[in-house]
Amino acid sequence: MELVIEAIILDYDHLKIILGGSEESVTMLESRLPSRTNGLNLPLHPLQFLVLFVLIYFGLIWNCVTVPALPTVWQPAGYTILAVILISHVITYAVATIIDPADEMISHRLVKGTSASLDRSIHKHAIENNFCYLCECMVGDKSKHCSICNKCVEVFDHHCVWLNNCVGRKNYRTFIACLFTGLMGSIIIGSINLMLFIAYFTDKNRGDILQPYAELLKTSTESQVSTVTTGTAQFYLFFRPAPYEAFLAIVALTTVMGFIASGLLVHLLGFHVYLWFKKLTTYELIIQEREKADLEAQRKASNPSIQEREEQATTSTSCLKSVKPKRSIVPVSTTSMKELQQKQKTEYSLV
Ligand SMILES: [Zn+2]
Ligand SMILES: [Zn+2]
């Protein structure tokens, strides 16, 4: 008992000594595969750099192009609202990335890393009866072993490539808050830039939306010269005078980027709202769909009349009808199952 307590507070080198320093014990420890702790572990995922680039781009354009082009009275609200949303988004993104979503038992294990291999002839799954044969410890009911992070994750939802981390019980709410703040920010950025783009063509005689037009109208009133029709409004990029074409191009690009980001986030957030109503995790939904597909394949395989009808329907449109082997339906269904499973794996890893 004393040995165990002592070992918990000691590091890896001390552990080797406690185990007796024998060659077997040292080899056993060193042959274990390392587990990822969080989304900052190397290698980083390329999508993390994309997120960073988009956040910096939106922050710079909003503060140095979009808001300065709005009427002066709107500008304080413009700076403040998006600052709050963007900062909240960055914080939730960072927290969801940094949190280690591992199962509690993994966090308290004496030996880190996992067993180097799993004997599939003995164990069909890594976790059986709540025992993970890779992590070599008991885990929670809804814990799953993520092959990318190489550890069991508590109430596993999915492995998120945008965070480069798993999403589980410990960071699920932060992940949803990250999606929500990201969606709010991208909708505001896309909408306001779209408004500026439209206003360029419609606001020239009013100056209600674009500050450069308001300035032009003010100048014309003061000088009593009709510069509204003859003058040219001065647009700015990063507080420096710039041609209106460059201003319009940046505003259009930001509008498109804002709405693309909104579309992706609406899709993702909508999917998680659907899961919330269904009381399922992403992983459970995938397994449920896979089981349905399995049952359907088995039903077709066990009912030759269905097979034959489907085969006839398929082959009737083919010029090779007369040479097609009759037993093709089973390999086809097996292949389609593999494709479906592959598709599901891809979808699950991309969420
Ligand atoms: Zn595990
Ligand atoms: Zn993972």
Q: What is the pLDDT of residues 125-144, one digit of tens each?
A: 889 999 998 888 899 999 99
Mean pLDDT, to the nearest integer, of 91-101?
97
Percent of the chain with pLDDT over 70: 73
Q: Is residue 39 part of a domain?
A: no
CA 85/CA 92 separation, integer angstroms: 11
CB–CB of 255/57 below 8 Å?
Answer: no
C-alpha 97 to ligand 1 mean position (Å): 20
Backbone Cα Rg of the chain? 29
Between residues 114 and 98, the one the model is more confident about = 98
Q: Is residue 285 part of a domain?
A: yes
Looking at residue 32, its pLDDT comes to: 73
Looking at residue 303, its pLDDT comes to: 78
Mean pLDDT, to the nearest integer, of 45-74?
96
Helices (H) and strands (E) in the chain, counts: 13, 9
Mean pLDDT, to the nearest integer, of 130-159?
93
- Indicate the number of domains in the chain: 2
Catalytic annotation, pick one of 132, 160, 166, 178: 160
Count CB neighbours of 130 within 10 A: 12
252 and 291 part of one domain: no
67 and 205 part of one domain: yes
CB–CB of 281/142 below 8 Å?
Answer: yes
Q: Is residue 296 part of a domain?
A: yes
Place of tokens 């040479």: 323
Query: What band does 7 get if pLDDT is binned at 50, 70 and 90?
Result: very low
190 and 213 part of one domain: yes
Closest ligand (CA of 161): 2
Q: Is residue 297 part of a domain?
A: yes
Selection from 19-33, 138-152, 331-345 with the highest mean pLDDT: 138-152
What letter would DSSP give residue 62?
I
Percent of the chain with pLDDT over 90: 59
Q: Is residue 3 part of a domain?
A: no
What pLDDT digit, counting tens, does each position of 231-289 carry? 588 999 999 999 999 999 999 999 999 999 999 999 999 999 999 999 999 999 999 99
Q: Is residue 136 part of a domain?
A: no
139 CB-near residues (< 8 Å, 6+ apart):
103, 105, 106, 127, 130, 131, 132, 152, 154
Tokens of 248: 């319009």
CB–CB of 106/138 below 8 Å?
Answer: no
Chain mean pLDDT for the chain? 80
204 and 350 part of one domain: no
Known catalytic residue at 160: yes
87 and 219 part of one domain: yes
Looking at residue 125, its pLDDT comes to: 85
C-alpha 293 to ligand 2 mean position (Å): 25
231 and 287 part of one domain: no
C-alpha 309 to ligand 1 mean position (Å): 45
Query: What band does 3 get if pLDDT is binned at 50, 70 and 90?
Result: very low
Name which of 113-122, 206-215, 274-283 the model is least confident about. Answer: 113-122
Query: What band does 53 get if pLDDT is binned at 50, 70 and 90?
Result: very high
CB–CB of 191/78 below 8 Å?
Answer: no
Largest CA distance in the chain: 96
Count CB neighbours of 269 within 10 A: 15
346 and 219 part of one domain: no
C-alpha 42 to ligand 2 mean position (Å): 13
333 and 284 part of one domain: yes
Mean pLDDT, to the nearest integer, of 14-36?
56
Looking at residue 348, its pLDDT comes to: 40
285 and 268 part of one domain: no
285 and 194 part of one domain: no
Element housing 145 (H / E): strand 144-146
Domain enclosing residue 286, as ranges: 280-304+329-351
C-alpha 99 to ligand 1 mean position (Å): 18
The answer on pLDDT for 20 being more than 50 is: no
User: How would DSSP label each residue in 90-121?
Assistant: HHHHHHHHHS--B-HHHHT-SS-SB-S---TT
Looking at residue 232, its pLDDT comes to: 84
C-alpha 294 to ligand 2 mean position (Å): 25
Closest ligand (CA of 118): 1
239 and 210 part of one domain: yes
Q: Is residue 268 part of a domain?
A: yes
Q: Is residue 25 part of a domain?
A: no
Looking at residue 248, its pLDDT comes to: 96
Between residues 44 and 204, the one the model is more confident about = 44
What pLDDT digit, counting tens, does each position of 279-333 carry? 999 999 999 999 999 999 999 888 766 555 655 554 444 433 433 333 333 333 3
The answer on pLDDT for 173 being more than 60 is: yes
76 and 222 part of one domain: yes
Closest ligand (CA of 160): 2
Closest ligand (CA of 156): 2
Query: What band does 155 get if pLDDT is binned at 50, 70 and 90?
Result: very high
Looking at residue 14, its pLDDT comes to: 43
Query: What band does 351 get if pLDDT is binned at 50, 70 and 90?
Result: very low
